């Protein structure tokens, strides 16, 4: 039976997706590099996500590299009609597992073709341009040249919709003058709330906001406030972290990452968890306590 409440949806371009999706990055090997520790478990996680009603998967060909896209294709191709796969370009991996900018026309074009081939599709649903002026967070700088290349690939029919990742408000404004931007993917969670005002602005514009590291990333969130609220509600801390994001704004789409079937089921069950005003007020204190 589906775990994901079909009434909670938001548009990614011309497609409506359920707000609780899945992020595939954790399926690659340690350091998001090389094959998974347990290949069959990775395939099972992807199939279970779809069986439980997920119709939005976030990936990139630089996870592995190529590994997560190839796993997605193996597990799910031919894809369900309602599935929207969002990928990203703009980085390349070094042999030392480093993340390096890859913004030349040649690199961006090759990245789109790598994604098409490894996912086994003729057109990519959504491609995020991942900005790399600072790999760890948004930093100012013009995104015009690389975004113009992606817009060209869109005009050629290889990319349906375009999004931006790791960007400032100024870069979003610049991007929207070049092509339609359907989603923004930045780091945001209970403890990292620099984008609070941006999220509300994007909601008014009908643009999806897709927080990466919704659970805190490689070291999941830990907070006594979070565990106290979770204990009171009879839920797990990760479920409360996701429920808080779902209630935070209607344009937030979730892509929690996991390589574990148990965690996947737990995370998808967050859809049924309602937080009261007092819970939200308490949870809002987490950002202040870690700032």
**Residues catalogued as catalytic:** 63
| C-beta nearest to ligand NAP: residue | 257
212 binds ligand NAP (CB under 6 A): yes
Q: Shortest distance, CB of residue 106 to ligand NAP, whole angstroms? A: 22
Select 171 or 267, whichever has its Cβ closest to ligand NAP: 267
Select 86 or 156, whichever has its Cβ closest to ligand NAP: 86
Q: Shortest distance, CB of residue 246 to ligand NAP, whole angstroms? A: 14
- One-character DSSP codes across the chain: ---S-TT-EEEETTEEEESB-EE-GGGSSGGGBSS-S-HHHHHHHHHHHHHTT--EEE--TTTBTTHHHHHHHHHHPSPPTT-EEEEEESEEE-TTS-EEE--SHHHHHHHHHHHHHHHT-SSEEEEEEE--SSTTS------HHHHHHHHHHHHTTSEEEEEEES--HHHHHHHHTTS-EEEEE-B-SSS--TTHHHHHHHHHHT-EE--BSTT-TTS----HHHHHHHHHHTS-HHHHHHHHHHHH-TTB-B--B-S-HHHHHHHHGGGGPPPPHHHHHHHHHHHHHH-
Interaction residues for ligand NAP, span 66-95 (CB under 6 A): 88
268 binds ligand NAP (CB under 6 A): no
Q: Shortest distance, CB of residue 46 to ligand NAP, whole angstroms? A: 12
> Which of the ranges 21-29, 33-41, 70-78, 139-147 carries the binding residues for ligand NAP, by CB under 6 A?
21-29
218 binds ligand NAP (CB under 6 A): yes
The sign of the CA dihedral 224, 20, 198, 278 is negative
Select 119 or 157, whichever has its Cβ closest to ligand NAP: 119
Interaction residues for ligand NAP, span 95-134 (CB under 6 A): 130
> Which of the ranges 10-18, 35-43, 215-223, 279-287 carries the binding residues for ligand NAP, by CB under 6 A?
215-223
> Which of the ranges 48-56, 118-126, 167-175, 260-268 carries the binding residues for ligand NAP, by CB under 6 A?
260-268
CB 213 within 8 A of CB 220: no
- Mask of contacts with ligand NAP, 136-175, x by CB under 6 A? -----------------------------xx---------
Interacting residues toward ligand NAP by CB under 6 A: 23-26, 58, 88, 130, 165-166, 185, 212-218, 220, 238, 255-260, 263, 266-267
């Amino acid at each position: 039976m589906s775990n994901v409440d079909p009434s909670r949806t938001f548009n990614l371009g011309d497609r409506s997706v359920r707000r609780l999706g899945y992020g595939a990055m954790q399926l690659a090997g340690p350091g998001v590099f090389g094959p998974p520790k347990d290949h069959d478990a990775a395939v099972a996680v992807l199939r279970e996500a779809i069986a439980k009603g997920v119709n939005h998967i976030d990936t990139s060909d630089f996870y592995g590299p190529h590994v997560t896209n190839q796993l997605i294709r193996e597990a799910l191709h031919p894809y369900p009609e309602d599935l929207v796969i969002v990928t990203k370009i703009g980085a390349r991996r070094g042999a030392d597992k480093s993340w390096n900018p890859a913004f030349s026309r040649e690199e961006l074009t090759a990245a789109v073709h790598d994604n098409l081939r490894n996912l086994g599709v003729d057109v990519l649903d959504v491609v995020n341009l991942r900005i790399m002026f600072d790999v760890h967070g948004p930093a100012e700088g013009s995104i015009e040249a690389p975004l113009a290349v992606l817009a060209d690939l869109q005009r050629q029919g290889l990319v349906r919709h375009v999004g931006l990742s790791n960007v400032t408000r100024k870069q979003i404004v610049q991007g929207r003058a070049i092509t339609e931007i359907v989603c923004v993917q930045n780091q945001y969670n209970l403890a990292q709330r620099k984008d609070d005002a941006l999220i509300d602005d994007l909601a008014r514009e009908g643009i999806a906001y897709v927080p990466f590291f919704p659970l805190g990333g490689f070291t999941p969130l830990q907070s006594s406030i979070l565990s106290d609220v979770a204990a009171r509600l009879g839920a797990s801390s990760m479920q409360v972290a996701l429920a808080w994001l779902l209630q935070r704004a209607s344009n937030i789409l979730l892509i929690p990452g996991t390589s574990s079937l148990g965690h996947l089921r737990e995370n998808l069950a967050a859809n049924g968890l309602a937080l009261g005003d007092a819970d939200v007020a308490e949870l809002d204190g987490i950002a202040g306590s870690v700032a």
